[in-house]
Amino acid sequence: MAGMSIGQAAERSGCTVATVRHYEEEGLLKAIGRAPNGRRVYGWPDIHRLRFVRRCRDLGFSIDDVRMLLGATDATSPDCLAVRDMAVAHIDRLRVMRVEIDALEQSLSSLANTCNEACATGRSPVCTIVEDLGATASG
Amino acid sequence: MAGMSIGQAAERSGCTVATVRHYEEEGLLKAIGRAPNGRRVYGWPDIHRLRFVRRCRDLGFSIDDVRMLLGATDATSPDCLAVRDMAVAHIDRLRVMRVEIDALEQSLSSLANTCNEACATGRSPVCTIVEDLGATASG
DNA sequence: GCTTGATCCTCATGTTACCTGAGGATGCAC
DNA sequence: GTGCATCCTCAGGTAACATGAGGATCAAGC
């Protein structure tokens, strides 16, 4: 089953067609074959590599990070420790993000609740959410 | 104390100078005065408006969202309910984000742990993180 | 009065990770 | 053979600013 079109490759890897082309021109894929008609031809190794990239991106790694990871897989002796350090650093970033998100949700929830009490029955002359967000008259 | 420079405005609002200019050209600020020498002059209402925008952005609202919120503050009769709906929708987005972040952290943590066991003592011939991420040999 | 460094101006381009569309060739089904 | 789907290559758009060029202005110190 080698010899997939870009459409099939996209479907099997969970990318869009545009994204697959994008990864190629970012140099994340090894030389992609071409059919006599000029169309790209993908094999299973390409699909796996695409999935790998997609997975990393979903995990929040940048394209540059992925390039590094792929460099590690391509090298004969991957720098495992550097890769692990990258993962650990990324975990730290995620923890910070979660704390921020929790705080935001709290703020927004209380704003929405206040609003519910103040104007859910209709329109209040002044939106409490906007008030609470700190908008002072600026006329 | 009216008559602040863009630098002071930036400092007091928690923005960078570039960001303040950016918000202006996005139409988020009301007409900013100019000194005879052509420099922008800010008053306290401008600072408050900048803080409002900054706060909203930090809360994850897009510039377009903020434009809407400011429209609500500027209008004589703000559409409070629409504003509340926006906040509620945003809370939903935040919840989804948090679930994803939790999952990512789990994945990365287990990856890092596996790596610690496998290659913390040196370099393993194959990095387990890269393996676990799904990279199968690709040519 | 003059130099120096900080701050300001505008305009243009860069960043990230793609998406969208133009304009045209090709493939597949009926 | 006539559509419609899929593919191709550019080119430009998106969000929310950041950065840099090239030049004017200001405030401080000597």
Query: Do B98 and B130 have their domain in common?
Result: yes
**Distance between terminal CA atoms of chain B?**
68
Q: How far apart are CA A114 and CA B44, in angstroms?
A: 27
In a domain, A65, yes or no: no
Instruction: For residue A134, tell me if it sits in a domain.
Output: yes
State pLDDT tens for residues A88-103: 888 888 888 788 788 7
CATH number, residue B31: 1.10.1660.10
Query: Are B49 and B104 in the same domain?
Result: no
Q: Which nucleotide is nearest to B21 (CA to C1')?
A: D17
Do residues B99 and B71 share a domain? Answer: no
Backbone phi, psi, residue B39, to 5°: -80, 145
- Spatial separation of the C-alpha atoms in residues A92 and A96, rounded to whole Å: 6
B57 and B69 in a single domain? The answer is yes
Statement: the CB of A128 is under 7 Å from strand D: no
Domain assignment of residue A101, given as a range: 91-139
CA of A25 to C1' of C29 (A): 33
Domain boundary among B33, B55, B76: B76
Task: Considering only the beta carbons, identify the residue of A73, A79, A105 that sits closest to B135.
Answer: A73
Nearest to B130 among A83, A130, A135 (CB): A83
- pLDDT one-digit tens code per residue, A37-47: 999 999 999 99
- Distance separating alpha carbons of residues B26 and B82, to the nearest angstrom: 22
- Nearest CA to B136 out of A73, A11, A27 is that of A73
Per the structure, how many domains does chain B have? 2
Share of chain B above pLDDT 90, in %: 37
pLDDT, tens digit (0-9, with 9 covering 90-100), for B88-109: 888 888 887 788 788 778 877 8
Share of chain B above pLDDT 70, in %: 77
pLDDT at B3 over 80: yes
